Structure 1
Amino acid sequence: MNRTYSGKLLVIFYLCLCAIGGVAMALLYDDSCQQDGGLHFLFAKWAWTHHGLFVGVWSRPLFTTIYAIPALIGYRAARIFTVIVCLNIAWQTYKLASDLKIDRSPIAILFVWLQPSFFLFSADNLTEPIFALVFVIALRLHLSGHKNAGMFVASLMILARPEGFFLGVLWGIWILRDAWKDSLGELKAFATNAGRASLLASGGLIWWLAALLITGDPLFIKNNWPPNWPMTGTIYGAAGLIAYPIRLPEIVGPFLLPLFIYGLVTLIRRRQLGTITSSFLLFFILHTFLRAFGLLGSAGYPRYLVAISPAIALITLTGWNKLADLFSGMTRWIAISCAVVILALSGYINFVYADGAEWSRDAVAINQLHQWFTDNPQPVNKLIFSEPYSCIIFNRDPWENISFTLNRDVDLKILAESPPGTLVVWDEKVGPKWYGLRAEDFEAAGFSRMYSKSFVLRGRILDRSWFGFGGPRHQTFYLLYKKGV
């Protein structure tokens, strides 16, 4: 068996392993571990009704456009679609490693999926995987010499996430640097070559034009900017400069982190793969500062770094190769055994990490409430909900939900004015934390409690808490209803 054929078999084997893991995530857990996953699904599904969602700042134009059709099939179908997206990210990362002639390139596939945050959201409806796919495709085009095509694809990153603006600036620096080298110091030639960088504005121009055509508002993007994304201010708190560094194990993987650091130091010292290392450093430093000072509504989630998961994988692969070279004199079966143990432990940790994400378990309770309501139906004219999954499972338009002001008196007045036939699906954790309202407040506003139940929602792997991680989630859900006079 020749090396090329063996390498192809490894690629297929690794992709199949990852596919099994991704599909398992989609089937084992009915909902996202963060509320944003359900919201983005609702944005994509209902964009056909509320067309502004196709160009909304929070709904993310690229994500909503790509997911608009899968979302019509159903929530789980859209999540399986994300698995396919993530498999493509891993494939493109492997191809990039091959393009760069990095040894052991097939294992780059595993180093993408063994990132805990990547795995956690590999069957979710969040925007980071779409960003990562655009990023790695653009990077392949750029590094293969197709720089104009690479810039156009890179310009689409801003349609997936705001970080696309910052990475676009970095991309422009790469282009200007190369233009200066190609011009041999001649300003006229430099200006001609540098002018190509304007292609990086293509995505923003497409967004603005689409928003104008759909909404008729030339300032739609500015006017649609979410109020909880202030340029200054600390709506989610200011966590300090160590918030992201201490969460690197969740981003890279606890067992792979030493390899990643080794690879990063090696590449920086040797000035190799500058586009890869600078992309990671930009994201990491950017989010470290945004979280440290609470800017742009940064919540400090490790998942933000999923957007550059291909870069993380290639840096880890570099560290892996360097370590393999150091232990090249080791007996082959011992070396293979050590590698398998590291990879297997990393895979197991991923499942433990995903299983410990408590929010996804609320879907079990909401499913039971939905079944109870199906058995005891009432006419519903409007749905108010604390968690997006309730809106998904009850198949209602999310725009029926009231726009909570976080002003208790104003919100209670709005609730009191809700029409007959309004159904409320509320909980004891998310509702009070996000909106400052409990089930008793709805009752005071004229709603009747139809059904309530307390749950102890346990993980499939971690039945108890370990060092504050995982363990049972104690939750209570309510069905409330406003009857006619």
Structure 2
Amino acid sequence: MARFSEKKIVAGSLITLGVLFSIIAAFTDCSAGGADNYAHYNIARWAFHYPNLFLDHWGKPLFTILIAPFTQIGFFGARLFNILAGLTTAWICYLLASGWKLSKAWLAPVFVIFVPIYFILMFSGMTEILFSLVLMLAIFLFFYDRFVLSAVVISFIFLARSEGAIFLPIFLTALLFKRKYVAVPFLLTGFLLFSLIGQLYYYHNFWWLITKLPYVGGIGANYGRGSWYHFLEKAPDYIGILIFLFLILGMFVWLKKWFSSGLKLRSEIFTRLLIVAGCFWGYLAAHSYIWWVGEMSLGLTRVMAGVTPVAGLIALVGWSEMDKTIKSKIGKAIFLGLTILFIVLPGVLKYKSEFKADTREVVMDEVVKWLRESRNFDHRFVAHDPYFAFSSKVDAWDSRRIQYGFADFTKPELNIADSTLLIWDAHFSQNEGHIPQKEILDNPKFELVAYFEPKVPLKVLGGHDYCVLVFRKMENLNVDNNQLMIKLKDEQLKGNLVYSEFFDFEHAEPGKVPDQFVVQESDTFSNKCYVLGKDSEFSPSVLLTDSQLKISNEVSVGVEFDFLAEDQLGNNEVLMVFSVEKEDKPYFYQGQDVLAVDSAKWNHARYHFYMPEEVKKDTKVKLYIWDIQKKNLKIDNFRVQAYSK
């Protein structure tokens, strides 16, 4: 019987995984990477129609050039490219591990593919996977003495992700220590080639890679800042606890060997520390620094996927060292089995929720559906969310069909033709577009024509509740968009009114409204109101059961009340609670902030709630106000209405 070599078995396993992963990609969505997924796709998909997109700095020229042919078959093509790139990276790591004579080198692909953040991004359309492939290929070529070719490959890495430029000094140092001076100039290959292309073809500026860099601060930036140890602290999550522990052990193994070699700078072990460990820790340190100082970073841990194959390789060094300490065959088999189990399972399951459409994508799909059904689809659009062009399938770069943002966001109506539709969303329009919801609602040149929100409230960048508003640009309008939004929100509660309950606190209601918290106030809408504060944390609650209405996922609930806040109200201090329970235990819960527009006057609050998709038998629904911080608050005219489709 013919025996297959280890190399053939590994290659066959990777091909099998490629087929399996492709099938998964064909039948799932992937929200990992968010809207950047679709921004990259929009660039690559249309690059053959608009060749200047191949040089789009934000899109990353190397990534766009390589992925563009795949995107011609749709977003599945982009995902297929990353699957192939990730599996190729795993193969290169195996070849390196085998060349280094590591115990069970065939485990290298497991330590690469099933790193949680790497696994999920292989199914996305993001740049991190190609970035890791370029890095690992350059490292592989270096250790196989192909120094010139290694320098050429690594010179292109910043065209896959800009921060790849930090690897060039590392490779330069390694080449100098190796005395491979001939290879040094080739580190400029990628920069010189694309600078020349930009000079001759589109930008007519040799230095466009520097002057057109999209990651700058100022008014267009929406970056944050945090602790310097953010990426290190989160490493067990995005790398996996077991691989992270083996990574630390692997570092100790290499450092011990280097010390044993007499700290020689031209030793093989130092070269591994410099290039392999140096690329991982240098990359982590760079991202930690820019997040700490608040420059060009949102603190997204997914960026670390670009170097997790390097971490996996170091982790395998640690694993191999531990494997050597186990003498019995049974012990080795158990250790091997447990390692695979506790790497693969967390790797696959950690981000399983991202194998479906993001909430914002679902809402935007509803917007596109409404545009088609309402015969508004032939209008010209202004949008900020790149997913809109993807979902609507319009030519993302045809200025006759779609425009991204406004030339002057302080006067968005300028140079915008009448009947143009603005697709305003609470994430991109409000942050990148600098168009606050209040300002666009108050703009007399835009009429609100449609309103969309997720069934479960979603907070986005800036702490805003996600929603999408569709406006029509028209001259000489005389509309109140704020009233239109109230009307459109109410229309979302479609169906028949099946239950209503109202508390005006004017009459005693034993068992529902405690008398001691009902007070007489001259400045209320009526004569009495209900008081929340130090002695009363909860308002009277409304309980919906099957005896009052048939509780199902077809039910939606509207709540409104008047309130006077005698204290300043902030986020998560006073909540309007919607609790779906079985046997008095919540299995679906929403708490929306009660915030005062004017703390000196009575305010009117309105909320919409939707039942979850899966409603359990004997479900009850509770609605009440929860004064978490015991703020002094008066409420009146508390109304709950339930609708069924």
Other-structure match for 2:216: 228
Judge conservation of contact 2:225–2:292 (CA < 8 Å) in 1.
yes
The answer on whether the counterparts of 2:148 and 2:182 sit within 8 Å (CA) in structure 1 is no
Deviates more, 1:46-55 or 1:19-28: 19-28
Task: Give identity over the alignment, percent.
Answer: 20
Counterpart position of 1:301: 300
C-alpha distance after superposition, 1:182-232 (max 9, x if no partner): xxxxxxxxxxx52430011011000101101212223433331226358xx
CA deviations over 1:107-161 (Å, ceiling 9, x no partner): 2112112222212311222222112111111222111111111111111112212
Residues of 2 paired with 1:117 and 1:21: CA distance?
15
Asked whether the equivalents of residues 409 and 433 of structure 2 are also in contact (C-alpha less than 8 Å), the reply is no
1:212 aligns with 2:183: no
Tell me: CA distance 1:161–1:347, structure 2 relative to 1, closer, same or farther (3 Å). Answer: closer
Secondary structure, in 3 states, of the residue corresponding to 1:255?
helix
CA distance in 2, matches of 1:476, 1:129: 32
- Classify the secondary structure of the residue corresponding to 1:426: strand
1-structure distance, mates of 2:384, 2:293: 28
Are 1:454 and 1:477, in contact at CA under 8 Å, matched by a contact in 2?
Answer: yes
Matches within 5 A, 1:350-369: 350-352=350-352, 354=354, 360-369=358-367
Which digits, 9 at most, give the CA deviation of each residue in 1:24-75, with x for residues without a partner? Answer: 3564225443222221112222333443332232221101111222223322
Paired residue for 2:185?
198
1:238 aligns with 2:237: no
Q: Decide whether aligned partners of structure 1 residues 336 and 254 sit closer, same or farther in structure 2, where only a CA change above 3 A counts.
A: closer
Partners of 1:385 and 1:401 within 8 A in 2: yes
Give the 3 Å change call, closer, same or farther, for CA 415–324 of structure 1 in structure 2.
Answer: farther
What amino acid is the match of 2:208? F
Determine the C-alpha separation between the residues in 2 that align with 1:269 and 1:3.
38
Structure 2 gaps of 5+ residues are 259-268, 477-645
Q: Which runs of 5+ in 1 are unaligned?
A: 180-192, 459-464
Counterpart-to-counterpart distance in 2, 1:93 and 1:336: 19
Partner of 2:235: 248
| Per-residue Cα deviation, 1:314-373 (whole angstroms, up to 9, x for no partner) | 011112222222334354553344234313432344334646x9x833222222222222
SS of the aligned residue for 2:358 comes to helix
Alignment of 1:49-64 (within 5 A): 49-64=49-64
Higher helix share: 1
SS of residue matched to 1:298: coil
| Counterparts in 2 of 1:91 and 1:421: CA distance versus 1, 3 Å | farther
User: Residues 6 and 106 of structure 2 are in contact (CA less than 8 Å); yes or no, is this contact kept in structure 1?
Assistant: no
Secondary structure, aligned partner of 1:256: helix
- Shift of the 368–234 alpha-carbon distance from structure 1 to 2, 3 Å rule, reads closer
Structure 1 residues 196 and 13: CA distance shift in structure 2, 3 A = closer
Q: Give, in whole Å, the separation in 2 of the partners of 1:74 and 1:420.
A: 33
**1:449 aligns to 2:440 (yes or no):** no
RMSD: 3.2
Q: State the alpha-carbon separation in 2 of the partners of residues 30 and 303 from structure 1.
A: 14
**Contact kept? 1:22, 1:119, Cα under 8 Å:** no
**In 1, distance between residues paired with 2:16 and 2:456?**
31
SS of equivalent to 1:98: helix
1:37-116 counterparts in 2 under 5 A? 37-116=37-116
Instruction: State the Cα deviation string for residues 233-292 of structure 1 (Å, max 9, x = none).
Output: 995233231111112123321232111111122122223332211221221222222222
Deviation of 1:14 (Å): 5.2
The within-5 A match list for 1:230-379 is 236-271=223-258, 272=269, 273-274=272-273, 275-295=275-295, 297-329=296-328, 330-331=330-331, 334-352=334-352, 354=354, 360-378=358-376
SS of residue in 2 equivalent to 1:414: coil
- Secondary structure of the 1:448 match is strand
Q: Secondary structure at the match of 2:448?
A: strand
CA contact (8 A) 2:422 2:471 kept: yes
**CA distance, structure 1, for counterparts of residue 406 and residue 200 of structure 2:** 29
AA matched with 2:80: I
Q: Does 1:426 align with 2:414?
A: no
Match of 2:413 among 412, 415, 419: 415
Distance 1:392 1:445 in 2: 30
Distance 1:118 1:299 in 2: 19
3-state SS of paired residue (1:415): coil
* C-alpha distance in structure 1 between counterparts of 2:469 and 2:222, whole Å: 28
SS at 2:72's partner residue?
A: helix
TM-score normalised by the chain length of structure 2:
0.63
Aligned to 1:126: 126
Asked if 1 retains the 8 angstrom alpha-carbon contact of 2:240 and 2:347, the reply is no
Asked if the contact 1:152–1:203 (Cα under 8 Å) also holds between the matched residues in 2, the reply is yes
**1:184 corresponds to which residue?**
none
What is the identity, as a one-letter code, of the residue corresponding to 1:85? A
Secondary structure of the 2:124 match is: coil
Aligned partner letter, 2:371: F
Paired residues of 1:23 and 1:123 also in contact (CA < 8 A): no
The 2-side partners of 1:450 and 1:80 are apart by: 39
Q: For structure 1, which segment, 346-355 or 280-289, has the greater mean C-alpha deviation from structure 2 after superposition?
A: 346-355
Residues 102/40 of structure 1: CA separation in 2 closer, same or farther (3 Å cut): same
| 1:421-442 CA distance string (max 9 Å, x none) | 4233333344334434355644
1:185 aligns with none
Q: Aligned equivalents of 1:479 and 1:364: distance in 2?
A: 16
My pick for the range that moved more, 318-327 or 170-179, is: 318-327
* Distance (Å, rounded) in 1 between the aligned partners of 2:48 and 2:413: 28
Query: Which amino acid is the alignment partner of residue 221 of structure 1?
Result: L
1:391 aligned partner: 389
Q: Structure 2 CA distance, aligned partners of 1:3 and 1:445?
A: 77
1:93 to partner: Cα distance: 1.7
Of the structure 1 ranges 55-64 and 4-13, higher mean CA displacement relative to structure 2 is found in 4-13
Output the CA distance in 2 between the equivalents of 1:278 and 1:426. 44
Q: Relative to 1, partners in 2 of residues 1:47 and 1:72: Cα closer, same or farther, differing over 3 Å?
A: same
Q: Secondary structure at the match of 2:187?
A: helix
SS at match of 2:292: helix
Contact 1:383 1:391 in 2 (8 A): no
Question: Which residue does 1:476 correspond to in 2?
Answer: 467
Which residue in 2 is equivalent to 1:182?
A: none
Q: Which runs of 4+ in 1 moved over 6 A?
A: none
Contact 1:18 1:113 in 2 (8 A): no
2:344 & 2:144 partners in 1: Cα distance? 34
With structure 1 as the length reference, what TM-score do the two structures score?
A: 0.83
- Check the 8 A contact 2:151/2:187 in 1, yes or no: yes
Which amino acid in the other structure matches residue 323 of structure 1?
M
Structure 2 CA distance for partners of 1:300 and 1:454, relative to 1, 3 Å: closer
